[in-house]
């Protein structure tokens, strides 16, 4: 089985959407990535840090998915990363009410020995130096390094971010971030510029408007599944990344056709994530409904025009 190394936050989230409000619940990029990737046949590990306020139940929940947590540092007397946010009515934008970095501020990732030769590395959104440190620890370069990032690092750690971007194979960012990174409005032009910075593959996430995959002169597009109601978008991007990286780890194949399928699997899993608060839907998700929804994705996008 292929090995997937996941690096990212384990966190508390507090979320308000037009549909309601949560207390502190389980969140964090690595959590969503790990839950999504666990739908595939692979070995996975999370590298992260939490305080000793992080419930054992949360760690147990991930362990039950056969996710190796030996790379998760529990800081005695430390507090876990906390994010609180409120979504606007259309759920396309949100305000951060507070971010408490806590133990994540001093995070020194250590890759477990068993994963120093991982096949695929999924770097969740973190300080670029943290991402770089993980890449440098590997015994051999993974076949595929995928990286998520965000505008915050473009604003505050440009040089460090560029160093990481030069070393990866796939970047996943949203449309606004792609524009900020390249000063290009056209996503086609932006994706071309980003490929010159390092990554051979550029995935641009457009939320409810789907996701684009760029590689040389090839483009693939997957829509978001049209839903009656999006309940809470938190974690959708990370769930997408988990499905994307999880599928590729299982497939052991990084052809463009395989990447296409990975985009669809990522979009498919993300469509479940947004149906409930936090990780609720992803925790309860079964194989059968995943397949049924993949069938919906086919019906949504596949057509038959003969070209002679």
Quick check: 198 binds a copy of itself (CB under 8 A)? no
Residue from the set 79, 114, 206, 215 that interacts with a copy of itself by CB under 8 A: 206
Q: Provide the minimum distance between the beta carbon of 229 and a copy of itself in the complex, in angstroms, as a whole number.
A: 6
**Sheet architecture: strand order including 144-148:** 67-75, 43-51, 3-7, 120-123, 144-148, 170-174, 201-205, 211-215, 218-222
Quick check: 188 binds a copy of itself (CB under 8 A)? yes
Q: What end-to-end distance do the CA atoms of the chain give, in Å?
A: 42
As a whole number of angstroms, the distance between CA 239 and CA 235 comes to 6
Residue from the set 221, 275, 276, 280 that interacts with a copy of itself by CB under 8 A: 221
Quick check: 305 binds a copy of itself (CB under 8 A)? yes
Half-sphere exposure of 125 (CA within 13 A, CB side): 19
Residue from the set 212, 236, 241, 282 that interacts with a copy of itself by CB under 8 A: 212
Tell me which residue of 134, 142, 140 sits closest to 164, measured CA to CA.
134
Quick check: 88 binds a copy of itself (CB under 8 A)? no
Instruction: Tell me the CA distances in angstroms from 168 to 50, 116, 131, 155, 191, one per residue in order.
Output: 26, 16, 10, 20, 15
Residue from the set 97, 166, 227, 284 that interacts with a copy of itself by CB under 8 A: 227
As a whole number of angstroms, the distance between CA 51 and CA 49 comes to 7
Report the residue number, 166 or 300, with the smaller CB distance to a copy of itself. 300
Quick check: 303 binds a copy of itself (CB under 8 A)? yes
Which residues ranging from 282 to 301 are in contact with a copy of itself (CB under 8 A)? 291, 294-295, 298-301
DSSP state of 76: T
Q: Are 243 and 39 in contact (CB under 8 A)?
A: yes
Report the residue number, 97 or 227, with the smaller CB distance to a copy of itself. 227
Quick check: 110 binds a copy of itself (CB under 8 A)? no
Q: Provide the minimum distance between the beta carbon of 161 and a copy of itself in the complex, in angstroms, as a whole number.
A: 25
As a whole number of angstroms, the distance between CA 207 and CA 150 comes to 14
Assigned token pair, 225: 């599944």
Report the residue number, 104 or 263, with the smaller CB distance to a copy of itself. 263
Contacts of residue 2, Cβ cutoff 8 Å, sequence gap at least 6: 42, 43, 119, 120, 249, 250, 252
Binding range to a copy of itself, per CB under 8 A, among 20-28, 75-83, 147-155, 262-270: 262-270
Q: Provide the minimum distance between the beta carbon of 273 and a copy of itself in the complex, in angstroms, as a whole number.
A: 17
Quick check: 76 binds a copy of itself (CB under 8 A)? no
Which residues ranging from 231 to 260 are in contact with a copy of itself (CB under 8 A)? 257, 260
Residues of this chain that interact with a copy of itself (CB under 8 A) are 89-90, 185-189, 206, 209-210, 212, 218-221, 223, 226-230, 257, 260-261, 263-265, 291, 294-295, 298-305, 307
């Amino acid at each position: 089985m292929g090995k997937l190394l996941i690096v990212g936050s384990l966190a508390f989230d507090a979320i308000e959407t037009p549909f309601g409000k949560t207390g502190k619940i389980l969140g964090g990029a690595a959590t969503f990535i790990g839950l999504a990737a666990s739908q595939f046949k692979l070995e996975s590990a999370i590298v992260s840090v939490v305080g000793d306020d992080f419930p054992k139940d949360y760690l147990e929940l991930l362990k039950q998915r056969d996710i190796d947590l030996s790379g998760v540092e529990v800081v005695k007397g430390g507090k876990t990363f906390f994010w609180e946010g409120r979504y606007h009515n259309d759920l396309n934008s949100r305000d951060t009410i507070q971010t408490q970095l806590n133990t994540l501020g001093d995070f020194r990732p250590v890759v477990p020995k068993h994963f120093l030769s991982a096949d695929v590395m999924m770097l969740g959104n973190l300080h670029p130096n943290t991402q770089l440190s993980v890449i440098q620890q590997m015994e051999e370069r993974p076949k595929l390094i995928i990286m998520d990032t965000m505008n915050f690092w473009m604003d505050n750690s440009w040089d460090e971010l560029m160093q990481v971007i030069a070393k990866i194979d796939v970047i996943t960012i949203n449309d606004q971030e792609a524009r900020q990174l390249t000063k290009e409005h056209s996503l086609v032009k932006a994706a071309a510029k980003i490929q010159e910075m390092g990554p051979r593959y550029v995935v641009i996430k457009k939320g409810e408007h789907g996701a684009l995959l760029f590689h040389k002169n090839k483009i693939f597009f997957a829509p978001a599944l049209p839903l009656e109601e999006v309940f809470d978008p938190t974690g959708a991007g990370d769930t997408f990344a988990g499905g994307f990286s999880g599928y590729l780890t299982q497939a052991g194949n990084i052809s463009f056709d395989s990447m296409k399928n990975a985009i669809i699997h990522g979009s498919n899993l993300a469509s479940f994530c947004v149906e409930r608060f936090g990780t609720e839907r992803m925790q309860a998700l079964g194989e059968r409904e995943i397949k049924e929804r993949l069938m919906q994705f086919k019906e949504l996008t596949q057509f038959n025009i003969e070209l002679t």
